[in-house]
Structures are given as C-alpha cells and as structure tokens.
Structure 1
Amino acid sequence: MKHTWRWFGPIDKVSVRDAAQAGAEGIVSALHHVPTGTAWTTDEIGKRQNEIKAGGLSWDVVESIPVSEDIKTQTGQWRSHIANWQESLRRLSACGIRTVCYNFMPVLDWTRTDLRWETRHGAKAMRFDLGDFAAFDIHILKRPDAALDYPEGLVEDAAKRFATMTNTKIVALGRNIGAGLPGSSDGYSLEQLLEKLRCYQGTDRARLQQNFVDFLSEVTPVAEEVGINICAHGDDPPWPLLGLPRILSTEADYAHMLSQVNSRANGVTLCTGSLGARADNDLPFIARHFAERIHFVHLRNVTRDTDTVPCSFFEDEHLEGGTDMVAVIAALLIEEKRRREEGREDHRIAMRPDHGQEILDDLTRGAQPGYPAIGRLKGLAELRGIERVLLHDHFGLA
C-alpha cells in the first residue's frame, strides 16, 4: 500500500516534514478554505501542491471535495454545485491528482461527543457517548420529538445526565457535535443546526439514497473521462443521527451504491473505524468483497461499549478494538497483487493511519482533534509492521 498522511494545510500543527519523518510517502489534503459548492481553481490546487512538495512529499489524495447540502437535498443551487464538483475533478486531474475521497452524510460529518476523552493510560482519544448525544439532542438542541428516536431507558438516562451537566459541558457538547468538516472553519450554532435539519424535512432514506445515485450518475462519467477514482467514505457513526437518514453504513449500502453506478471510477473509501462502530459489519469480509473498487483506505480501530446499534464507542489504538486489522490488511495486499498481475497503474492502494490517540508530546501540541503527530506515527508504524510481515516470502502475498 502507499502510506499517506492527512495534512490540513499551513495551519496544521503537524507539518509535512513531520509526516515524512513518521514514514509517510504521500499527503492527503484538501482546499478547506474554498467555500462548499465552489469549483477549485488550478492556481489554488498548484499552491497546495507546492506547499506539500516543499516538505518533501506529494499530494496524492484529495480528502475531500465537500458535497453541498443543496446537492444532497436537490434544492437551491444543486445543479451548479454539481457542475462545479465536475470542474474541480477536471482541474485536479490536470494537476496530476488521481484519487478523490468524499462523503454524503447529511448536515454532520463524523460526529463525536468528546474530542479528548482520557483512556486508561492517560492518552486522549475521541469518543461517541450515546447517552451524552441523546442528552444533547433532547435537552440542549431541543429537536422536536427527539425523544421518540431513543428507547425509553436511554431517554431517562439522558434526562439524568442533563440535570447534572455543567455549563462548560453543555457548551462543549454543542461545539463538538456541531463541528464541520475536519480542517474547515465551518460549524453550526444550535439555531443553525436546527435550521439545517429543517432543510431535510421530507427527505427520507430512500430519497437521500436516490439523490446520491443521481449525484454519482453526474460526476462518475467525468471521473472516468479524466482518469480520477472517486471513493465514498462511510457514515460516521454508521447509523441515523438527529432524525437524519444515513445511507453508507453497511455492506448492503455500499453494494447498492456500486451496483447503481457500475464503474470502476466509482469506488470505496474503506474506513475500518467508521464501519467498525457496528458489530454487524465484518470488515475483513467487506475488504474482500469490494476489493476491486477500494481506492483509498482509512485504517483505525474502535472499541464499542456494547454490540448494539447504535452504541457508545471510543477510538482505540490501531491494533486494538473490534476490527481484525491483520485480516483487513491481508485482503488489501491480495487485491494489490491481483492488480499488479493485471497490469494496472493504480495497483498501489493509498492508505493512511486514520486518527490516533494523543500521547507524549501530542498532549501539549494542540493539533487537530484526532490528528496528532506521535499517535499517528505509532499507528502507522504498527500498520507498516503488519504489512511488512505479510509481504515476507513466507506468506506469498508479495
């Protein structure tokens, strides 16, 4: 696999040189300052490429070109936003970039209730606490009829939690849950979040799924034409939130997406952490089943409090948690071997150590939550070690 590293641009407190020293071969980045729905310019793409090149690496994967809420709901300026998305693909291809990751989650991107939860050994990790989330939804956001979306016992627990919450905790929950895409300056106040939710009234799961297929039907032919692989990231967490439908949470969801727009350019970002929050997602099976259409991989692990859906979980060390990381990496290496034998230029699958716990000097660096320097270095080293062993002549995957 090609070992990559997410970098949020010059504002990132972990530099490109840090990434290179950690063992990364390439960078995953995006133009976070460009407004959603706007076409990326060749000048801005080139500027970011030069910033990365100055650190000794190359820009290999875009993560991501945001998909606007207008596109997801097919309202407002959705047609012009799709045209701008297509134009961004053309310009990225002209600059030599061949992989674009994106997501189709309504309103919220990945969602956590705690961005720096303390683990048993003092590291800081991101956590999704279902009880805290329900307390936020019912008592802080006060979404109409929110309590109907939770079992009675959880509603009672949420009420008890809210009754003892400090103002600091309430503010933190709102900030954490209402955050925008990682690296962006977007984010929602409570009033803005409620307004965004109202935009989805009448958009059920079937409607959102069809809007997704419509989007793919428009952008995939352009991706094919310019030689770019686009790859959808799964829902995080993989279940409905705030009354909003989710459409990329299971193996069946991905199978539907890939069958509806059956092109190799329309592919998967395999995120073992997102899908791994559901006990009914078999990650090694998913890696094998969709191997030919996997264009980008996020490797991380989560530990679930329970095996129910939904559930609480935290982001564990990369080789801990519920996902058999050795089996997933083995499946990916088998696919790479098949691609090499087929003569494909894209036989190396880009992988990045996704997220990471804050350890050692990370605890004072103040990097983007989930993206510390040393925690990711540790994760990348562990993942590279598994890969190196599996590629040994003894195992026959080389």
Structure 2
Amino acid sequence: MIETWRWFGPEDPVPLSHIRQAGVEGIVTALHQYIPGQVWTVEDIQKRKDLIERAGLAWSVCESIPVPDAIKREGIAARAEISAWKDTLARLGRQGIETVCYNFMPVVDWTRTDLMFGLPGGGYALRYDHTDFAAYDIGILKRSDAVRDYSAEVIVAARARLGRMGEDDKIRLEQNIIAGLPGGAKTQTRQTIAKAIQSFAGLSEDGIRANLAAFLKEVVPVAQDVGVKLAIHPDDPPFSLFGLPRVVSTQADARAILAAVDAPENGLTFCTGSYGARADNTLPEMAREFADRINFAHLRMVRLEGGHSFHEAEHLHRLDELLEVIKHIRAGEEKTDQAIPMRPDHGHLIGTDIGRAANPGYSYIGRLKGLAELRGLIAASSQQKVA
C-alpha cells in the first residue's frame, strides 16, 4: 500500500511540512476553489502539483472532482456537466494524477450531527445521531412529507428531542449538517438545502442508479485514455437522508457499479468507516469480493450505536475485521501487480490539537495516531495468509 494523507490545500491548518514528518509518500487533495461543473485549468493543476512536489511529496490521489447534482438527476441529459467533468479528469491524468476519488451522493455529502462528541478519554470524535437528524428534518427544515421516511419510534423520539433544544442547539445542529454539503456554511442555507432536495423529487433508486451507470459509460473511457483509476466513494452514512436515494451503500450496490463498466479503471474507494456504518455490510467479505477493483482505501472504523446512529471509533476498533480487510486488499494488489494508495481516514481531536483550527475529522495528532496503528496492522498482515 502507498501511504497517503489528505490535505485541503494551502488553507489547511496542517502544513505540508508536518505531513512529510508523518512519513507518508503521497498527498490526497483537490482544487476546492472550483465549484461543481467548472473545468479545472491545467495551470492550477500544475501549480498544486508543483507545490506538493517541492515539499518532497507526490500528488497521489485527487479527492475529488465533485459530480454536479444535475448529473445525478438527469444522467446522460446533463451534457455540459458531464463534458466538464471529463475535461477535468483528462487534464488531471495528463498531469500525472493516477487516481481520482469521487462520490454520487445527492445534495448532501458526508453528514454528521455532532462534530465535537466527547469521548471517555477526553478527546472528541465525529458522530451521527439519527434522532437528531430526524429532528432537524422534521422540525427545523420542515421538509414536506419528512415523517414518511422515519419509523413511528424515531418520530416520537425526534419530536421529544426537538422540544428540549434551545435556539443555539438548533443552530449548531444545522451548522453541523450543513458542514457536509458542497460549499458548507459559506454558501448553503436552509432555503438552498430545501430547494436542492426538492429538485430530486420523483427520482427513484433505479433512476439514480441508471444515471450513475450512464455517467460511468461516459467517463471510464476517458480514464482509460489518460491512465487514471477511478474510485467511487461509498455513501456516508450509507443509507437515505432527506428521503433521497443513495446507491453506493451496500455490497450489492458496489457489485452493480463495477458491472456497469467492467474495467479496472472503474473501481472503488473502499472506506471501512462508511461501509462499516451499516450493520448488514460484512467488510471482510466485501474486500474479498472486490479486492482487484479497490483502487483507493480509506481505513478507519465506526462504533455502531444502534438505530443508524454511530460515532468515529479508534482506528483499530473491530480489529479482526480490519485485519481481514487489509489482507484482502493486499491480495488484490498482488493479483493486479499494483500498489494502491491508502490513507488514515478521520482522527479523533486529541491533545494539543484541542482548541486549534482543524477541518472536522482531519486534525493532525489523531490521524498520526491512526496512521501509526495502521502501519502496525499492515505489517502484521504480511505475516498472515488470507482466510
């Protein structure tokens, strides 16, 4: 595996000099100044690449080229948006960026309800509380027909939770949820969220799945032409939010995506945290089945709380599962004769990082700890055979 580290560009509180001290080889980054649908210029791509290389590192993965919601809604009919995505992909490939991670989540990207969940040891983690999310959807956003998407038990709990919230609590919850939307709090409001959700009205799982397949048939040939491996990231969390269909959540979903265009360039980002947030996903079995189509790995674990709720756990939580996953990924590397990039995904906010500026889940010390633990597990995996 190629050790990498996510970096959000020159504005990231963690500088490249500190990342190099971590001992990784590569950087995972993107040009976040571009909005979805804009074509990235060759000059800006090269400028970012040069900046990384001057620090003694390599730009290993682009995470990500945002997929505009128009493509998710309209598929092949979104000609201008698909063309722009293909142009950016081609430019990245020609500049030597060999792996591109992307996702196909409608409206909301990663979603958490608490960005400062207190841990027993004194640090902080990211958390998704399904009751809090329902309370926001039903009682704050007041989405039409929201109650249809929750069980009676969750609705009762959400309304009780809402009744105990003060205005500051409601504002904080909304800000936490908005943090995972494209542009975050800088561009998103309650009104823009509601409008974006409404734009998907009537789109079924089958519809968005067909649009994803159509998108892949357009972009995979470009990836093949410029030598890029595509790696779709799973839904985070891996179930419907705001009543919107999500189709990168399960083993069956991943199988359908790979079958849509059966080529090594059409692969997966195997995120153990995202797929692991569903109790019915068996991570080692998924890694075994898809080993030779895993083009990128995010390694972390979540602690399931029941009822869809979870929080970010220690990297080595569910140790036996993670060890088996790593062994299957390494077997896939041997089969394809290609090392894949991996990064420690999300870290607890601990130690002297508490109180410092940091992107949620991406403070320095917590990820250093996770990386060290993963290094040990990867080394141990080399002494064991795949089950």
Give the TM-score band, short-chain normalised: over 0.9
* Other-structure match for 1:4: 4
* Other-structure match for 1:336: 333
Give 3-state SS (helix, strand or coil) of 1:268's partner: strand
| C-alpha distance in 1 between matches for 2:242 and 2:155 | 14
* Other-structure match for 1:363: 354
Give 3-state SS (helix, strand or coil) of 1:8's partner: coil
* Other-structure match for 1:314: 311
Determine what percentage of the aligned residue pairs are the same residue: 46
- Classify 1:169/1:184 alpha carbon distance in 2 versus 1 (closer, same or farther; 3 Å): closer
Between stretches 270-279 and 12-21, larger displacement belongs to: 12-21
Gapped runs of 5+ residues in structure 1? 341-346
- Deviation of residue 180 (structure 1)? 4.1
- Classify 1:5/1:250 alpha carbon distance in 2 versus 1 (closer, same or farther; 3 Å): same
Give 3-state SS (helix, strand or coil) of 1:352's partner: strand
| C-alpha distance in 1 between matches for 2:81 and 2:151 | 39
1:115 aligns with 2:119: no
1:325 aligns with 2:322: yes
- CA RMSD in angstroms comes to 1.7
Q: Is the CA contact (8 Å cut-off) linking 2:75 and 2:214 kept in structure 1?
A: no
- Deviation of residue 338 (structure 1)? 2.3
Q: Is the CA contact (8 Å cut-off) linking 2:5 and 2:24 kept in structure 1?
A: yes
- Deviation of residue 332 (structure 1)? 1.2
- Deviation of residue 321 (structure 1)? 4.5
- Deviation of residue 183 (structure 1)? 8.0
1:107-126 Cα deviation digits (max 9, x unpaired): 00010001111111111100
Gapped runs of 5+ residues in structure 2? none
1:221-254 Cα deviation digits (max 9, x unpaired): 1111111111100001011010100101000001
- Classify 1:109/1:296 alpha carbon distance in 2 versus 1 (closer, same or farther; 3 Å): same
1:130-173 Cα deviation digits (max 9, x unpaired): 11001000000000111121111111111111111021110111
| C-alpha distance in 1 between matches for 2:248 and 2:208 | 11
- Classify 1:58/1:89 alpha carbon distance in 2 versus 1 (closer, same or farther; 3 Å): same
Q: How does the TM-score come out when normalised to structure 1?
A: 0.94
- Deviation of residue 387 (structure 1)? 1.1
- Deviation of residue 7 (structure 1)? 0.1
Q: How does the TM-score come out when normalised to structure 2?
A: 0.96
| C-alpha distance in 2 between matches for 1:65 and 1:140 | 31
- Classify 1:293/1:175 alpha carbon distance in 2 versus 1 (closer, same or farther; 3 Å): same
Amino acid aligned to 1:87:
D
| C-alpha distance in 2 between matches for 1:77 and 1:186 | 29
* Other-structure match for 2:18: 18
| C-alpha distance in 2 between matches for 1:146 and 1:127 | 22
1:385 aligns with 2:360: no
| C-alpha distance in 1 between matches for 2:50 and 2:325 | 34
Between stretches 172-181 and 27-36, larger displacement belongs to: 172-181
| C-alpha distance in 1 between matches for 2:322 and 2:136 | 33
- Classify 1:229/1:280 alpha carbon distance in 2 versus 1 (closer, same or farther; 3 Å): same
1:164-313 correspondence to structure 2 within 5 Å: 164-180=164-180, 187-306=187-306, 308=307, 311-313=308-310
- Deviation of residue 322 (structure 1)? 7.9
Give 3-state SS (helix, strand or coil) of 1:117's partner: strand
Q: Is the CA contact (8 Å cut-off) linking 1:180 and 1:186 kept in structure 2?
A: no
- Deviation of residue 339 (structure 1)? 2.6
Q: Is the CA contact (8 Å cut-off) linking 1:66 and 1:103 kept in structure 2?
A: yes
| C-alpha distance in 1 between matches for 2:319 and 2:151 | 25
